[in-house]
Structure 1
Amino acid sequence: MPRQTFLFGPFLLDPERETLFQDGSPVAIGRRGLLLLHALLRAHGQVVRKTELMHSAWPNAVVEESNLSVQMASLRKLFGASSEGAEWIATVPRIGYRFAGPMLVHNDESECPAGDEATDLARKPSIAVLPFTNLSGDPELEFFADGIAEDIITALSRFRWFFVLARNSSFIYKGRQINVKQVARELGARYLMEGSVRKSAGRVRISAQLVDAGGGNQILANRHDFDLVDMLAVQDQIAERVAAATEPELLRSESRLAAALRRGGNVNAWDLVRQGIWFLHQVTQATHLRARELLREACHLDPDLPEGHAWLAQASAGIVGYGWSDNPAADAREGTNAALTAIHIDEKSPYSHYALAISSVYESALDQAVRAAERALELCPGFAPGHFALGMARLFSGDAHAAIGPLEHALWLNPYDAQNFIWCNLLALAYFFERKTDMALHCAEKALKIRPTWRSTLETMACCDVALGRAEAARECVERMAKTEDPLGDALAPLKRRNPHWITKMNALLRKAGWSPSPI
């Protein structure tokens, strides 16, 4: 028999472990209550007679009916009212009880599941993608709108760190007026995505909104326009773009929620991971070091949590890459080891392979970095960090031409990432080494808008200015560089070691601008 877990509202019942979760945390409930709840849930809304319920909770014992009434009252008090004000458990006079609320049943067919799926569902956030609305009145576009929502569900499911509800669950709301909080409670989802499709003069406009159902607030609203030449090809592009924009917002939302917990003492490993992610997204030396502490603690608390190891690898690599490490070799090795552990636990997670790619760059294992980034993209083609890592590894390997495509695609997928000042600077360098100096200058300017004091970008900008004959602008860059703090290390050290001819050219231009470059 497949193993079953039951999701309803914010609750998850795992009968095999005899545990009820609420919003990912175990709930105190007696064994009789668990047995009665399981009996009601497995009846799928049908009435369960009092005698059956009493036999389920008190097998081989004679008890009074009042005991059943007390247990049912306790369950009702625990669950509270539904979003519509109704009770989850309904009384059928003189006969018995039935579970009256919506629920999802998760079947695990494997005899020996890898990890604990029920714990994963309780721990991880969940998202439901609702059917997209066809605003054009064109019946042909109805299938197109449904196909987009289905493809977004597929694309989001590849990220693996959150739970995506299946199409059959969310598509029951097609054509219905919805209340966000009610739907989220009925589906047991923390986040909802809804959207619309509008066609006009050979173009299609996709609008998508991501809502945090708990607070009812909108955390993402995007609009994408595409030329409608080949419907299937456009459908793939839309799904990739929408999923790529959505996943980082989920990550930011989850890390913000975890940041609110950081003053409390009762946190689990997943909470620590989310807190670590929040600190990483601040992109400062102090917050990266704090993130690494939290992620190390998460790995110690739950060694089988792949996200803990994957994000620890990213933290360690970032500390090296941003020049904040006092022992780059040891920190890069910690990153690689953590990434390999994450892959061992969950080989199908793109984040695990991305972590290995970034860590490998700073160990100068560039061939391994390319392979790891390619594997991340095989698992999740719309994974923007995978494209970033592939472009970075190719650039550091000396192939500026091959680096441009992945870096451009990554920025197209995720134009608002907190670390885009790094990726824009790498794209600027790729253009610069390809002798496309105007485009390099444009990318460097974009990077400086995000992080105006980043030394490496100012160096790139100064080189572009000198090469384009903009002597005064180059001197201004040098003046700004002189005011920046000297980093402990060099984020471009692997590139410089592998490609000294490029660095010789840059150093010559920096000297013309009035800067004395550090030796390679």
Structure 2
Amino acid sequence: MTDKSVAILPFINLSPDKDNEYFSDGITEEIILALSKTKGLKVIARTSSFMFKDKHTDVRAIGKQLGVATILEGSVRKSGMNVRISVRLVRTIDGFQIWSTKFDRQLDDIFKLQDEISLLVADKIRENFGHIEFQSSLVSVDSSNFDAYDYYLKGRYEQLKWTNDALVKAIEHYQKAIQLDPELFRAYYGIVLCYTYMLFWSSGEEARSEVYEYLEKAMEVNRDSLDYHLAKASTEMMIEWDHSSAIDHFKHSLELNPNNAEAIEAIAGMYIMVGQFDEAMIHIEHALEINPLSLNHTFMKGNILYFSGEYEKAIQQMNKVLKQDPKWIFAVQLKAAALILTDNKAELEEILEEFSELPFMGYYTTLNHLYHDQPISEYEQPFLADENIHPWRLYFLTLEENYDQAFKMLEEGLNQKHGKYICFNYDPFLVKLKTCEEYNNLQEFLPKKFPLLSDIYEDTSDSKPLITDEEEHKELIEALDKSMVEEQLYLDPKLSLTNLADHINTSSNKLSWLINQDKKSNFYHYINSYRLEHFKKMAVLPENQNLTLLGIAYECGFNSKSTFNDYFKKSTGLTPFRWLKEQK
């Protein structure tokens, strides 16, 4: 576990209107996205954080599951055009509260408020756990129209359900957002992604035209954002099957934010499509580091193992998914296929019986018979509606060695770029086709090898010193020492990294780096070490015998009883009272 890490749990909706859940969820996600831009800070992605929504799990258990040192909890109360957001940052090793505050604002200032919260959280983590560098602003102002932004949040809330009905609702909300603010570019890209995913698993010229209409409009507004590159890469990959263009845009998205789990998963998916499974695994493992409880990521890892022929390991991944969500259909389907390929009759019978109510499960019985050359007189022909994900008819034709019809169907599907055929070259149920001469006619659909993007994950956060001028370095060290020894700024309980940086006329990024590199400490320990030594001198003075230990601690700059007791015990191994008794 890295100390510089945080999970932002779903903010609790305390608004009178319980339908404002989308708003509190949206605020949470915006802060997650903002903090994920901070290099050197591990920020758990939305999916894993939201696994703890409406659950009263101890923060220590959450920290262990997610591998983070801190948890940010919060609540949102929205009433009319007013909003109150309360937050607290907690240490996961022991549940100690590092910091808490509340904000009362007008909704017109919502972007400024999100930025303020994100910067404060990053600063408190830096003060307590060591140097990280971040920009002066983490949240961009996407719209000056709150109602438009509100519709955007509603659209995002629906989009992340990833069902066809929810995607339709998401598009409606995004369209309303655009009507109110044509400059709200993220709403355009939301529509593009919704239509892209709907189109990938079906065919519809109407959806295709909508994708490019909204993509073109979005590009007119903003074509430099991560949203643009992710949307453009997705359309090139899933609609056009142009992986060369897709990889360029994915590269730009990683350069803008190498910790965006949504983009990383999409990149892993692209490398599956082109058969570079080792590279796909690197990306999905990175996604799982920042989103360890994501069902999608776990499923994607199983998908990589499946297409690379490691069926037993793929089954293990599907079991992990089904343990969290026993009804996750994609995991049920892939597990059933892998059980057929490993000839695990007992478990296959169990899963077919358990999910017999699903309309497509009968096809796995047919597939099992045909794959293992077991006699079967007749079987139910698949409905087209059941073929959005798997090409059942192509499987059956191939395994029955009806190659003429199989190649005709496959070539037609490839020419129309149906998503269910995109991995045909690695599909274990289509292996027989490779023995036929006609397979050579499919060369144009076989992807070439592409450059690797995983090098971008190499951590270079500590490779460049922030202060390279020796004279500046010397002056800042002298100013820092003076502020502590002579001016005793540590006596101010409100002293922060930013305040101290302003006092010695430097940036908070440089001061954080300086304390980390030269003092071998973080801001919290550095300041409190001076407070502790001051306390020790004050506590033994005869004239202070009538003062309480806590009163002396407050005079030395400690701002709470819990902070004082926690730091004192960790530094000395004793309680303040026991220490004083030993001095006497």
**Greater helix proportion:** 2
**Greater strand proportion:** 1
TM-score (norm 1): 0.46
Higher RCO (C-alpha under 8 Å, 6+ residues apart): 2
TM-score (norm 2): 0.41
Structure whose CA Rg is larger: 2
